[in-house]
Amino acid sequence: MVRQLRSSARAGRALPYVSTYDGAMVGQVGVHNIVWGSACFGQVSYWIDEAHAGREIVPTAVALLGDHCFRRLGLHRLEIAVRPENTASVRVAEKLGFTLIGMAPRYLHINGAWRDHHLYAVTVEDVPEGLLARWSQRRR
């Protein structure tokens, strides 16, 4: 898996990062399946160790990564696919102001079955102030 991530990153199709807290790795955040050309979008993924959940690490990391994608790389759209029952991940998308686009039936194969996902998206025009600034304002 690491080899595949490195290869995708070198090819400009992925941005895999680890999330740290107090110097320790506690999760991962990334943009994958980056499509260039007329699409200019990528799919955001994230996870965090249960012991560190609820500390706003994930929304902050996604906001930082999103700003990098919009401002430095020139992506136009970011998407997040979330299983509806994963309320913590749904909250990340909502906290950052991603728009619910709809339901994608049998979207990803997870734990031996095709699982439905909610799709969320944000475009660069939606956040002229940037995702981190939006997130900072919402936290107040």
Domain boundaries, the chain: 2-139
Q: What is the pTM of this model?
A: 0.92
Confidence band (pLDDT; 50, 70, 90) for 6? Answer: confident
pLDDT score recorded for residue 13: 86
Amino acid at 63: A
- E-state strands within 22-112: 24-35, 41-48, 77-82, 99-110
Enter the tokens of residue 13.
Answer: 């199709």
Q: Which residues contact 16 (CB under 8 A, 6 or more apart)?
A: 5, 8, 9, 28, 30, 32
> How would you list the strands of the sheet with 15-21, edge to edge?
15-21, 24-35, 41-48, 77-82, 113-123, 99-110
* CATH no. of 2-139: 3.40.630.30
Q: What 8-state DSSP symbol labels residue 70?
A: I
Q: Does pLDDT of 4 surpass 90?
A: no
pLDDT score recorded for residue 11: 76
Q: Does pLDDT of 12 surpass 80?
A: no
* pLDDT (tens digit per residue) in 26-72: 999 999 999 999 999 999 999 999 999 999 999 999 999 999 999 99
Q: What is the mean pLDDT of the chain?
A: 93
Query: HSE on the CB side for 40, CA within 13 Å?
Result: 15
Q: Could you give the CA distance from residue 121 to residue 44 in angstroms, rounded to a whole number? A: 10
Q: Which helix (H) or strand (E) holds 3?
A: helix 2-10
